A and B are shown apart, each in its own frame.
Chain A
Amino acid sequence: MNKTISEINEKIRSGNAVVVTAEEMVTVVKKSGAEEAAEKVDVVTTGTFGPMCSSGAFLNLGHPRPKMKMQKVFLNGVEAYAGLAAVDIYIGATQVAEDDPLNREKPGSFTYGGGHLLEDLVRKNKIHLEATAYGTDCYPSKYYEAEITLDDIPEAVMVNPRNAYQNYNCAVNTSEKTVYTYMGILKGNLGNANFCSAGQLSPLLNDPFFRTIGIGTRIFLGGAEGYVTWQGTQHKPGVERNSKGFPLQPGGTLMVTGNLKEMSPEWVKGVSMTGYGPSLMVGIGVPIPVLDEEIAAFCGVSDSELSCPVVDYSNDYPNSTGRVLGSVTYEELKSGTVKISDLEVPTGSLSSYYKALEIADILKKQILKGRFFLGEPQKYLPDGRGSR
C-alpha cells in the first residue's frame, strides 16, 4: 500500500498518524517486516547533533543614523562577511576571533569564534558590534559601535551550506605524535578512533537515495522549524554503496535554512576544536514519510548494517592520498573499541547520539500533537542513480 505526503499530513491533522523514531523503526521492521511496517507506520523521525563547520547566519543589522554601508563588521571581535548590501552580513561558524592566538602555540584553544557568536545571539546575549566604512553620499557613516541583541536586529536567518552529512569518516592517527583535527584529538599510534554520525538515527542514512527529502522538506533545525533549501555543498550521491544501497562513504549532504530568532541555545552550540578552530554544533531532525515498503525497509536499517571508512588524519586525509585503512560498522564503533590493523582501538565520538535521540523524540511528539506537518519537496536532490 503506497501513501502520499498529503495523505500522511491528513492523518497528522486528524491525530491518527503513527510516528516512530528511526531507532524504534529498527525493531518494528525486524518484528513485522518492511511490508507490514510500511502499512503501520506513517512517519519515521531522525536526528543528528554534531559539529557542522559549514554553518552560519545572515543578519540584517538595521541602519545607524546617518546610514552606513558597512565595510568591515566585527561582532564580539569576530569578523562577519560584509560584502553584501549596506547592513547585511554573514557570520560563519569557523570564523576565528580577530585577536585569537590561533595555533601560534600549538594546539590553539580557540575559545571564541563564529560558532560561539551564533550561540550567544541565540541566547539573546549582548553582542558588541563594531563596524567601519569608507562613507558614500547615500551612506555617510564611517564608524558605528553598539551593544546589540538578537531581538534588536531586523532579521537573522540561519543558512548552512553543508549539514547532516549522510555518513562520515572514522578518524585515526597512525603517526607517533598527537594530531589536533576537526575530528577531535587523535592520539598517535592508533590511540583512538573518532567517529561523527548518528548512524541508524542519521537523517540521510534513513533515506539513502533521497526519495522523500528534497527542496522544501520541513525539518527540525536548531530547535526551530527549518527547511531543506538545496543539496548541500559536496553532495556526492554517487559514492560506493553496500548491497542494500547505503553509502559506505560520506555521500549526500543538505543545505538548510531557518529563522535564527526562533532557535534554542540547546541546539545551536559553539564549540572549540583544540588545534583546529571554532565551529558550531547544530541539531537537525528530518521526518521521513513512509510512503512504501522500500522506504520502510530503509528506515529499518540498524547500526550493524551501516559502516564508514577508517581514515588516517595524520597523513592520508591532509594529503588526499585516498587510502582507507578499513571499514567499521556503527555497531562496532558504539561498542567502545574497533579493530584496526589488528589493534583494539578505543572509540570516541563527536556527534551526540544521546542528543540525536532527543531530537528524534521531540520531532515525533510534535508530529503526534499535530504541530508539525511534512513539507512536500518541490524538487528532489540528485540521487546518484541518474534518475534526477
Chain B
Amino acid sequence: MKTKKIVLHFPRKCVNQPIVYRLIRDFNLRFNILKAKILPDEEGLMVMELSGDEEEFDKGVKYLSDAGVTLEPLSKDIKRDEEKCTHCGACIVICPTEALYAEGSERKIIFDSDKCIACELCISACPTRAMVLDF
C-alpha cells in the first residue's frame, strides 16, 4: 500500500480527457482531490492524495506521465512561523477544514497540521503572513 500527496499539472491537450477516471478503473487507485483548477484553454492543476497497491501505484504514475501530465510530490506543506503568529484569529474563519481554531477562553490559535489540506487560503488571510508554504 502506497499513499502520496501529489501535484498534477495537466497541459492543455489533456484537460478534456478522463485521466483521473482511468487511474481508478485501470489501476484500482484511490484518490482524494485536495485542490483542482482547470480552466478553458489553460493548463490544469490538481492536488490529490493517491493511494493503492505499490505496483499499481507506480503503473498509474507511469500512465500519467505517458499521458503528458507532469507530476510532482506535494512536498509543499503549510507551516506556521510561531514567532510571527499573533494568535489574532483572522485565519480561523478562512480555513475550510478547521485545521486552525481558537482554543478555550484564552483563544490561543491552534494549527493542527494533520487537518491541513494545503489549500493556501490562510496565507493571504494571515495579517503577519505567519502561514507559509514549506518547500
Identify which of residues 274-300 in chain A touch chain B, using a CB-to-CB cut-off of 8 Å.
274, 279, 281
Chain B, 73-112, contact with A by CB distance < 8 Å: what is the 0/1 string?
0000000000010111111111000000010011111000
A349 interface contact, C-beta 8 A:
yes
A353 & B106 in contact (Cβ 8 Å cutoff): yes
- The yes or no answer to B59 lying at the interface (CB within 8 A) is no
Chain B residues with CB under 8 A of A351: 88
* B15 close to chain A: CB less than 8 A: no
- Nearest residue (CB) in A for B124 is A274
Q: Tell whether A34 is near chain B: CB-to-CB under 8 Å.
A: no
Instruction: Report A-chain residues with C-beta under 8 Å of the C-beta of B86.
Output: 49, 269, 281, 352, 355
Whether A348 pairs with B90 at a CB distance below 8 angstroms is: yes
Q: Does A194 contact B (CB under 8 A)?
A: yes
B112-127: CB near A (< 8 Å → 1, else 0) gives 0000000000001101
CB-based contact A185/B94 at 8 Å: yes
Q: Does B13 contact A (CB under 8 A)?
A: no
Q: Pick from A51, A281, A354: contact of B107, CB below 8 A.
A: A354
CB-CB contacts below 8 Å: A251-277 with B: 269-274
Question: Does A357 make an interface contact (CB < 8 A)?
Answer: yes
Cβ–Cβ contact A348 & B92, under 8 A? yes
Q: Say yes or no: A350 contacts B88, CB within 8 Å.
A: yes
Kindly state the separation between the CA atoms of A271 and B107 in the bound complex, as whole angstroms: 20
Nearest A residue to B109 via CB reads A354
Residues of B within 8 A of A216 (CB): none
Question: Which residues of chain B are near A269, meaning CB under 8 Å?
Answer: 84, 86, 128
* In-complex Cβ contact of A349 among B90, B128, B129 (8 A): B90
Given A194-B90, A350-B88, the answer on whether A185 and B124 have CB atoms closer than 8 Å is yes
**A122 to B10 Cα, complex, angstroms:** 47
Most chain A CB within 10 A, of B87, B91, B108, is at B87
Does A140 count as interface, using CB distance less than 8 angstroms? no
Q: Are B89 and A348 in contact (CB under 8 A)?
A: yes
B57 to chain A, nearest CB (A): 37
How many angstroms between the C-alpha atoms of A288 and B42 in the bound complex?
Answer: 61
* A109 touches B (CB below 8 Å): yes
Q: Is A192 an interface residue (CB 8 A)?
A: yes
Q: Give chain B residues whose Cβ lies under 8 Å from the Cβ of A348.
A: 89-94
By a beta-carbon cutoff of 8 Å, the part of chain B in contact with chain A is 84, 86-94, 102, 105-109, 124-125, 127-129
Q: Which residues does A use to contact B, with CB under 8 Å?
A: 49-51, 107, 109, 111, 184-185, 187, 191-194, 269-274, 279, 281, 334, 336, 346-355, 357
Further 15 A-B residue pairs, CB within 8 A, beyond A49-B86, A349-B90: A50-B88, A185-B124, A192-B93, A194-B93, A271-B127, A272-B127, A272-B128, A281-B86, A334-B107, A348-B93, A350-B90, A352-B88, A354-B107, A355-B88, A357-B106
